[in-house]
Amino acid sequence: MEIRKIFDTIPEEFDKHRPRYGTELFESLIDYSKISHSSTVLEIGPGTGQATDPILDTGCDYNAIELGEHLCEMMVRKYSRYPNFKIVNGDFITYDFGVQKFDMVYSALTIQWIPEDIAFKKTFELLKPGGTLAMITLEGDYKTPNEDLYNRIQQVYSDFFKPDVKYEHGDFRYSRATDYGFVDFMRREFRGRREYTADEFVAFRKTHSDHMVIPEPYYSQFFDGLRKAVLEAGDRITFIDTYVLYTAKRPL
C-alpha cells in the first residue's frame, strides 16, 4: 500500500482523534476569499472533515476529492444531508475535472502529499481568475508547556521509533506558489490548545502515517513508552498549537 493511502485503513480512528483547526482561522479565510453561497469551492483530501464544516456552512457549492475509499464513504455518511455537498473518490493528481473551475481550492495537511509542481500547476488551472489557493497546516508544540515530559518522549522516539517507510513530504515549499504564477502569497498564524490523557495521546499518535508503519516489536514498545511517559507526568500532556494558513491568488 502507498503510504499516502494508509489513512484509509483507519477512518473511524482518524475521524475521532485528528485535530481541527480553530474558528478564527476559518473566519479569516472566508473573509479573505469572500466565500459565500454563490462561490464554488474544492477541498483536496478532506479526510473525514477536519476542515470541512466551516466552509460547507457558508452555503457554497462545496466539492471535494478524496483518495481513500473508506474516508470518502465516511464523508458521505457525515455530509450527504447537505444539498451543497459533493465528493468524488479519486486521485487529485490524475483526476480530470473537465471544465470545472473554482473560486477557492483548499487543503488541510494534504497538499504536501502531492508533488509540488503538480500541486501548484493543477490548482492554478482549476482556479477562476482572482481565485484563492489556501493551504492549512498545524504546528503542535508540547515542549514549551511540559519540557521534562517532552524530553522523556524524545527518548522513547530515539529508542523505538523505527518506521518501515520514511516520511518524505516535509520538503513541500508553500512559498513556491509564486513560482507557478500565483500572487499575493501570505502566511498567517492562529493559536489553539489541546490536552490529552495518556490513552488519548497514544490514540492520536497512532493516526500519524509514519507511526502506523513501525514494525513489531518496536510498535508496541514505542506506544507503551509514550503511554508510560504521560502517565508518569500526571496523565496529562498539553499542546500549544499554531494553525498556519497559507494563501495565494490566481491573478485576475
Predicted local confidence at residue 15, as pLDDT: 96
Query: Position of cell 488551472?
Result: 125
The pLDDT-based confidence of 1 (bands split at 50, 70, 90) is: low
Predicted local confidence at residue 201, as pLDDT: 98
Q: What is the pLDDT of residues 96-143, one digit of tens each?
A: 999 999 999 999 999 999 999 999 999 999 999 999 999 999 999 999
Write down the CATH number for the domain with range 3-139+169-193+240-249.
Answer: 3.40.50.150
Residue 212 in contact with residue 109, Cβ under 8 Å? no
Angle at 69 between CA 66 and CA 70, to 5 degrees: 110
**Bond into 217 cis (ω within 30):** yes
**pTM for the predicted model, two decimal places:** 0.95
β-partners of residue 87 are 64
Predicted local confidence at residue 204, as pLDDT: 98
The pLDDT-based confidence of 164 (bands split at 50, 70, 90) is: confident
- For residue 3, pLDDT over 90 is answered with no
Residue 201 in contact with residue 249, Cβ under 8 Å? no
- Strands (DSSP E) found in 156-236: 183-196
Q: Average pLDDT of the chain?
A: 96
Burial of 197 (0-12, 13-18, 19+ CB in 10 A): middle
Question: What percent of the chain lies above the pLDDT cut of 70?
Answer: 98
Alpha helices in 46-115 (DSSP H): 53-56, 69-79
Predicted local confidence at residue 2, as pLDDT: 75
In degrees and rounded to multiples of 5, residue 182 shows phi and psi of -70, 155
Residue 142 in contact with residue 193, Cβ under 8 Å? no
Q: What is the pLDDT of residues 202-248, one digit of tens each?
A: 999 999 999 999 999 999 999 999 999 999 999 999 999 999 999 99
Cα separation, 15 vs 98, in Å, equals: 31
Predicted local confidence at residue 66, as pLDDT: 98
Predicted local confidence at residue 166, as pLDDT: 73
- For residue 170, pLDDT over 80 is answered with no
- For residue 200, pLDDT over 90 is answered with yes
- Strands (DSSP E) found in 38-178: 40-44, 61-66, 85-89, 102-108, 127-141
Q: How many C-beta atoms surround the C-beta of residue 11 within 10 A?
A: 20
Q: What is the pLDDT of residues 175-194, one digit of tens each?
A: 999 999 999 999 999 999 99
Strand duo 237-249 + 183-196: pairing? antiparallel
The pLDDT-based confidence of 167 (bands split at 50, 70, 90) is: low
Predicted local confidence at residue 103, as pLDDT: 98
Predicted local confidence at residue 171, as pLDDT: 77
The set of long-range contacts for 155-159, using a CB threshold of 8 Å and a minimum separation of 24, is 156/222, 156/225, 156/226, 156/229, 157/222, 159/221, 159/222, 159/225
> Residue 45 is which amino acid?
G
b/e 132-169 (16+ beta carbons within 10 angstroms → b): bbbbbbbeeebeeebeebbebbeebeeebbebeeeeeb
Q: In which element (H, E) is residue 238 found?
A: strand 237-249
